[in-house]
Amino acid sequence: MSHYFDSAQRRDILALSRTFTGRTQWPTWLLLIAVPGAWFALMLGSPVIGPWWTTGLLIPVVVLWMSLQHELLHGHPTRFEWFNKLLGYAPFAVWYPYTLYRDSHLLHHRDHDLTVPGVDPESRYLSRARWQGSSKVLRGVLWLNKTVLGRLLLGAPLSLAGLAGQELQRLRRGDAQAWCMWLTHGCVTLLMFAFIARYSEVTVWQYVFSVSVPALSVGAIRSFYEHRPALRPEQRTVLNEAGLPWTWLFLNLNLHLVHHDLPGLPWFYLPGIYQARRAQWQQRSGGFLVRGYGELIRGHGLQPIDSPQHPFS
């Protein structure tokens, strides 16, 4: 727990962990049943509701599954890493093996490195040297990716291109862990595709391009302005006061500074902890406050929110 919290706050958080909900984490267990259950129900029910309604309903289910995977890698609902991995390994989102997501995301939680290009694995910024060495076309793409519309259209393809480049290098080097991870992920994904082809009206190609890629695009909205460059690490992470349905889809990760300061706190406690000391949290963030994703869409649908070049990397 961060040294930022005083004794009263620490007592409040400890008291939450000792409640029935805190000890059992039943809301997370409920979602671990409901989300895969909804996925299978939609697949098996697709002959009745049709492939297009099925794909449309599957997108939020897959977004919610990715949010659940995030909870699992942070030690919820159990403290057994191997068991959480088993619970979250299903490749409903197709592209990212659970192990890869877990390892890179935990590196991202080194807050003193947040947004630093080449150090923070989730940074959306380029160093001065890389920016100056980039072509005009790439610069234009990166500027467009700093708008909400651009992020929706380009966020997923750019992320997947970066993923492919990094992981192909590891495979070419003969990295045993990478080979094992991708072979396992590939086998499980092929089993999922076989189930889709056998029992669903949705084709495998429809699932890949009409479900998994749009789900990544929706997830890219959450990360659109989740972090910013700032001299103080705690002022690099946003407090986004979003409403439904975003808070459900992202399991309250819109309150991202609270999560970064308290990564061991389960998703269902984040709003209460924030509201109890809202002014203090906003002061800690250095005023890095967004009043919902609608504010971002209205203000930066077509207007870049900041520069793709990191200002002091």
Residue 24 in domain: yes
Domain that holds residue 247: 7-300
Separation between Cα atoms, residue 255 and residue 281, nearest integer Å: 10
User: What string of DSSP letters covers 135-167?
Assistant: -HHHHHHHHHTTSHHHHHHHHHHHHHHHHHHHH
Residues paired with residue 240 on neighbouring β-strands, in sequence order: 290
Check whether the bond before 271 is cis (ω within 30° of 0): no
pLDDT at 4: 58
Residue 309 in domain: no
pLDDT at 168: 94
Q: Measuring CA to CA, which residue among 298, 301, 310, 283 is closest to residue 227?
A: 310
Average pLDDT, 10 consecutive residues per value, the chain (313 residues): 62 82 94 98 96 96 97 95 96 95 92 92 92 92 96 93 92 94 97 97 96 95 94 95 95 96 94 93 95 95 94 81
Residue 73 in domain: yes
Residue 120 in domain: yes
pLDDT digits (tens, 9 = 90+) for 51-78: 999 999 999 999 999 999 999 999 999 9
pLDDT at 5: 61
Separation between Cα atoms, residue 29 and residue 182, nearest integer Å: 27
Q: Measuring CA to CA, which residue among 261, 237, 252, 225 is closest to residue 124?
A: 225
pLDDT at 18: 83
Q: List Cα–Cα distances, 5 to 8, 62, 258, 284, in angstroms.
A: 8, 35, 11, 11
Q: How many domains does the chain have?
A: 1
Residue 305 in domain: no
In single-letter form, the type of residue at position 268 comes to F
In single-letter form, the type of residue at position 15 comes to A
Residue 306 in domain: no
